[in-house]
Amino acid sequence: MTRPGIFFNGLIFFCLIAGNACALELSSRDIVEGEPVPDRFTCMGENVSPRLEWRNVPPQTQDFVLICDDPDAPTGTWVHWVLYNIPAAVRDLDQGVPAAEVLDDGSRQGVNDFQRFGYGGPCPPPGKPHRYIFTLYALDAPLPLGGRVRKERVVAAMQTHVLGKATVTGTYKR
């Protein structure tokens, strides 16, 4: 049996097709999986969000959610970014997504643990490296949320709507 190949970021990915597309994939030109996050995207640099791209979207996708958090924070998981109701036609985010509650395409940003809308880059206390996990969820419906929404409300609202999930993880230490 021949498996179809998909060329992406200089690599060939193979998947078994059983009437469905390959699994949702998330990648970044700015963050290499498992490698340190460049200073530009941290509190030690410009603190701008990295470019993210995704493909192999489940056909029933109506919406996306993106969450970035640090599970290694001393006080428990620290939320760096909550972006939800990303339209189904969107396949990437440019660097430097504005720190607004509602973006031009209708996407909404929740409040991060820095108490701000939008992205807050890695800024761990000095010591061991922390992991920064960017997780993209494909959903079968937009989320009926608004206002100063935090990660917990987004996660609760999407529980029965997740069609696919993909991650990119970077590290950072000061």
Q: How many residues does the chain have?
A: 174
Q: How many CB atoms lie within 10 A of CB 61?
A: 18
| pTM exceeds 0.75 for this model | yes
What are the extents of the domains in the chain?
Answer: 23-172
Q: Where are the beta strands (DSSP E) in the chain?
A: 5-8, 11-14, 25-27, 52-55, 63-70, 78-87, 92-93, 108-109, 130-139, 162-172
pLDDT of residue 1: 32
pLDDT of residue 6: 37
Q: Is the pLDDT of residue 127 over 60?
A: yes
Q: Which residues of 6-22 are buried (b: 16+ CB within 10 A; e: fewer)?
A: eeeeeeebeeeeeeeeb
How confident is residue 22, by pLDDT bands cut at 50, 70 and 90?
Answer: low
pLDDT of residue 9: 37
**CATH 3.20.20.70 for the 23-172 domain, yes or no:** no
Q: Is the pLDDT of residue 121 over 90?
A: yes
Q: What is the pLDDT of residues 135-165, one digit of tens each?
A: 999 999 999 998 899 999 999 999 999 999 9
> Is the separation of the CB atoms in 142 and 63 below 8 Å?
yes
In percent, the amount of the chain with pLDDT more than 90 equals: 86
Q: Which two tokens stand for residue 117?
A: 């809308």
Q: What is the pLDDT of residues 37-88, one digit of tens each?
A: 999 999 999 999 999 999 999 999 999 999 999 999 999 999 999 999 999 9
- Going by C-beta distance under 8 Å and a sequence separation of 6 or more, which residues neighbour residue 160? none
Q: Which two tokens stand for residue 148?
A: 């100063």
